[in-house]
Structure 1
Amino acid sequence: MPISRLIDALNEKIANAVSWALLIAVIICAGNALVRYLFKMSSNSWLEIQWYLFAALFMLASAYTLKRDEHVRIDVITSHFSKRTQVWIDLLGYLLFLLPVCLVIVYYGIPFARYSISTAEMSSSAGGLIVWPVKLLIPVGFGLLVLQGVSEIIKRIAFLAGHIDGHEFARHASTPQQEIEAIKAANKL
């Protein structure tokens, strides 16, 4: 569990830091639009930096999303199972799907990013930016996802062994029934 808590803390800190990328992207987007309409000036680099910031937010916060258990799930089906069965489904999903796919992406992403760095790759757009920082996000982001997957596996095994009660990975997302109730309530307004 200490390793799991360390990984969780790392991904929380990274997600909190990178969350500012959204605000920065919105400010750049608004500023770029104002400059474009008021002064009839623009640059592809302003558009690309917005894409880079969004990529950073998405890639570096994905592990945090997994930690919070707010990723895409099949709750419509699994919500009818016992907690223990749900944990087994999670564990098998992490071992058979999440980790292998993420490890393959990291394996191929490292030389992909390394090549971009070694060639000082630039965007093909006029006035574009260097490309390697966004390509480096691929192995880094999926590496963080691998680490979080390991953390989640540790928690599921600890639960199945009776060492924890499961609050460490309690679902934060709403159940399908809660979603239906929220939609009904919103429609009554």
Structure 2
Amino acid sequence: MPGIVVRYVRLIDRISDYVGYLAASLIFLMGGTLMFDAFTRNFIRMPVHWAIELTQFTLAAYYFMGGAFTLKNDSHVRMDLWYSTLTERGRARLDLLTSVCLIFYLAVLLLGAISSLQYAIATDERRFSIWNPSVIPIKSLMVACLILMLMQGLALVLKHLAVLRGEKLQ
């Protein structure tokens, strides 16, 4: 494979790792926020109204930020009826097909996310609650993470093409 392809795959893999590890650390923020909420609600008898919503936003960030990392490490769920019986090239062909389907799905999802973000910006969309937070930051993160997942999907396609050519990209 050309050097630019190898560099692209390595760069996207590195970014996916970084964002994935950052996402994994969000579990501590979620746990701390929920413990703070439980403490203020049960011991001080003064509930904070933002804790649950902050945890929901953090969970959404955790989910989206972990997407490219999951793709890169092949950690997604696969229904293995005959996949393990295929040769390496056969698996690469099947993975190439599913990667193209994934890219199509992510592209459609990205178009919807961009539209949703544009609406949120135009209307200053907020959650209807006592805290009333803006949804623009989480929708912006969703768009950025979908772009990263698309880029990781392209890296997967390139990896599968390399296997079909008898090469390794790693």
Task: Answer whether TM exceeds 0.5 for this pair.
Answer: yes
Q: Secondary structure at the match of 2:82?
A: helix
**1:15-53 alpha-carbon deviations (Å, 9 max, x no partner):** 122222111110111111111011222233111110111
2:138 to 134, 155, 160: 134
Give CA-to-partner distance per residue, 1:60-91, whole Å, 9 cap, x none: 11110010000011224311211111111100
- Whole-angstrom CA distance in 2 between matches of 1:20 and 1:117: 28
Report the residue type matching 1:93 in the other structure.
T
What amino acid is aligned across from residue 55 of structure 1 in structure 2? A
In structure 2, the residue corresponding to 1:62 is in which secondary structure? helix
**Structure 1 position 104 matched with structure 2 position 111:** no
Listed as ranges, the gaps of 5+ residues in structure 1 are: 169-189
Q: How many residues align?
A: 165
The DSSP-based 3-state class of the residue aligned with 1:79 is: helix
* 2:74 is equivalent to residue 78 of structure 1: no
Q: 2:65 aligns with which of 47, 60, 65?
A: 60
TM-score of the two chains, using structure 2 as the length reference: 0.91
Which residue is equivalent to 1:36? 41
SS at match of 1:40: coil
Q: Is the 8 A contact 2:110 2:147 kept in 1?
A: yes
Q: Which stretches of structure 1, 4 residues or longer, exceed 3 Å deviation after superposition?
A: none
Partner in structure 1 of residue 21 of structure 2: 16
Partner of 2:121: 117
Q: CA deviation at 1:114?
A: 2.0
- Compute the RMSD of aligned alpha carbons: 1.4
Offset of residue 129 of structure 1: 1.6
Which SS does the other structure have where 2:85 is aligned? coil
* Runs of 5+ consecutive residues of structure 2 not aligned to the other structure: 1-5
Q: Is the Cα–Cα contact under 8 Å of residues 40 and 48 in structure 2 kept in the other structure?
A: no
The match for 2:159 is 155
Alignment equivalent of 2:12, drawn from 3, 7, 21 = 7
Contact 1:45 1:127 in 2 (8 A): yes
Q: Which amino acid is the alignment partner of residue 105 of structure 1?
A: L
Q: Which moved more, 1:134-143 or 1:34-43?
A: 134-143
